[in-house]
């Protein structure tokens, strides 16, 4: 598999193209907008120059990477590719249309992959006559730096496509985890409370943005606080993912979006890219300082971490992925300080359950319901380390 096609020259598509090109593939980067292609080409040149300057690569490697990528506005140039990765707008109808078009360009052996973060791979595959060669290959931004890639087979995907997809992505020096084709896969499903519960705490007036971020970084050990991270991702993007997951899970209250984020998105306060979000990024901006109360900070961390752990345990219960891959996904995909299942063992499953049951009792909301597997693990005396070491699933407790 020498030739790789990438559809979409935004930051994600361009990043994937760089990864493939650095691994020695001939890459065709396609976008409908010529200016987007020029922007991607200029950005790559700048990145390569910086890597050479820092001594991370040679000038020859820089030249080879840039020469390996060709830029086009025509998908017909994908002809002869062994793999195409689509990295365009999160719109199911548009994705299905381009996958249908892919089949008229490439041969039957070409793997067709989507980089979607939350849409159904089965739905995308349904647009193809040969649906068994369609798969999800979800990178994290920035693709050249983030090690994790989620591999998501649809119910139509055959074993050969799954095996070949993992092999090629791992040959790019990436860490792969396999996820079931369910909304948000592993990372975007399990991470929802990091944003959602932080927003809920703010909306209740318990703490402001800066205090919540301070608590999660200084006490919780997270690399970024939820509001800093949402500003980095973009409020529009983060809100859309939350809304998509919420609708896809039949309006399960655990994934309910926050009006605060909706209003910030509607106002155009998208974060760093718009110059204003939860924080002001303009020159000489005076953002409020956090309230550095250890008691309040610990309460914030305990609440959000309990929700995150519960989501990870529930993903294991519903066989979204195995225990090892769930913890790997959260540490390598979103840089959590430790795997959530391991974290549950450290805190103690009984303590985590106690926090959740108190929240559910206080609020009377199904949002805080504890995973059945959390209760079952306590009942059977299992730690989640046993799940990781032995490859256990819920069925092993029955």
Please name the helix (run of DSSP H) or strand (run of DSSP E) that holds residue 385, with its range, or none: helix 384-390
Which one from 68, 120, 188, 371 is the annotated catalytic residue? 188
Is residue 120 part of the annotated active site? The answer reads: no
E strand intervals along the chain: 3-7, 26-30, 69-72, 83-86, 111-114, 134-139, 148-153, 175-178
- Rg of the chain over all Cα atoms, to the nearest angstrom: 22
Strands in 3-7's sheet, in edge-to-edge order, are 69-72, 26-30, 3-7, 83-86, 111-114, 134-139, 148-153, 175-178
What is the residue whose two structure tokens read 């301070």?
A: 214
Q: CA end-to-end span of the chain, whole Å? A: 44
Which one from 138, 197, 235, 310 is the annotated catalytic residue? 138
Which one from 115, 117, 238, 310 is the annotated catalytic residue? 117
Phi/psi of residue 114, nearest 5 degrees: -110, 140
Question: Can you tell me the distance from the alpha carbon of 47 to that of 42, in angstroms, rounded to the nearest whole number?
Answer: 9
Instruction: Classify strands 148-153 and 26-30 as parallel, antiparallel or unpaired.
Output: unpaired
- Read out DSSP for 183-222? TTTTHHHHTHHHHHHHHHHHHTTS--HHHHHHIIIIIT--
Q: Please, how many CA atoms are within 13 Å of residue 142, restricted to the half-sphere of its CB? A: 11
Identify any residues that bridge with 7 across adjacent strands, giving them in sequence order: 30, 86
Is residue 188 part of the annotated active site? The answer reads: yes
Which one from 150, 197, 238, 371 is the annotated catalytic residue? 150
**SS3 category, 268:** coil
Question: Can you tell me the distance from the alpha carbon of 137 to that of 203, in angstroms, rounded to the nearest whole number?
Answer: 35
Question: Can you tell me the distance from the alpha carbon of 110 to that of 124, in angstroms, rounded to the nearest whole number?
Answer: 16
The token pair at 28 is 């065709």
Q: What residues have CB less than 8 Å from 323, skipping those under 6 apart?
A: 316, 341, 384, 387, 388, 391, 392
Question: Can you tell me the distance from the alpha carbon of 137 to that of 113, in angstroms, rounded to the nearest whole number?
Answer: 6
Question: Can you tell me the distance from the alpha carbon of 329 to that of 246, in angstroms, rounded to the nearest whole number?
Answer: 21
Is residue 371 part of the annotated active site? The answer reads: no
Catalytically active residues are 117, 138, 150, 188
């Amino acid at each position: 598999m020498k030739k790789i096609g990438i559809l979409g020259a935004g930051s994600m598509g361009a990043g994937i193209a760089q990864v493939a090109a650095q691994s020695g593939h001939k890459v065709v980067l396609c976008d409908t907008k010529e200016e987007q292609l020029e922007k991607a080409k200029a950005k790559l040149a700048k990145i390569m120059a910086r890597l050479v300057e820092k001594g991370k690569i040679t000038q020859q490697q820089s030249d080879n990477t840039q020469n390996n990528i060709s830029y086009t506005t025509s998908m017909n140039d994908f002809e002869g590719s062994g793999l195409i990765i689509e990295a365009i707008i999160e719109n199911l109808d548009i994705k299905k249309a381009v996958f249908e078009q892919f089949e008229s360009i490439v041969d039957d052996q070409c793997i067709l992959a989507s980089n979607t973060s939350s849409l159904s791979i089965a739905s995308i595959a349904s647009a193809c006559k040969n649906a068994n060669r369609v798969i999800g290959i979800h990178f994290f931004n920035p693709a050249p730096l983030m090690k994790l890639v989620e591999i998501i087979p649809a119910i139509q995907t055959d074993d050969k496509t799954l095996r070949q997809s993992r092999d090629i992505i791992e040959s790019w020096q990436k860490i792969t985890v396999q996820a079931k084709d369910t909304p948000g896969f592993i990372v975007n499903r399990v991470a929802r409370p990091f944003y959602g519960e932080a927003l809920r705490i703010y909306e209740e007036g318990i703490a402001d943005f800066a205090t919540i971020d301070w608590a999660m970084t200084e006490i919780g050990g997270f690399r970024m606080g939820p509001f800093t991270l949402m500003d980095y991702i973009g409020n529009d993007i983060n809100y859309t993912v939350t809304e998509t997951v919420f609708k896809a899970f039949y309006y399960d209250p655990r994934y309910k979006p926050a009006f605060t984020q909706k209003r910030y998105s509607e106002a155009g306060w998208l974060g760093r890219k718009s110059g204003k979000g939860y924080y002001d990024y303009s020159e000489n901006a005076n953002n409020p300082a956090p309230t550095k109360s250890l008691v309040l900070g610990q309460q914030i961390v305990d609440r959000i971490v309990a929700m995150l752990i519960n989501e990870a345990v529930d993903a294991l219960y519903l066989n979204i992925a195995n225990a090892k891959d769930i913890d790997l996904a959260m540490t390598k995909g979103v840089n959590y300080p430790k795997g959530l299942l391991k974290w549950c063992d450290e805190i103690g499953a009984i303590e985590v359950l106690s926090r959740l049951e108190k929240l559910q009792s206080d609020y009377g909301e199904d949002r805080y319901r504890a995973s059945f597997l959390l209760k079952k693990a306590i009942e059977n005396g299992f730690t989640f380390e046993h799940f990781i070491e032995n490859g256990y699933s819920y069925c092993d407790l029955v």
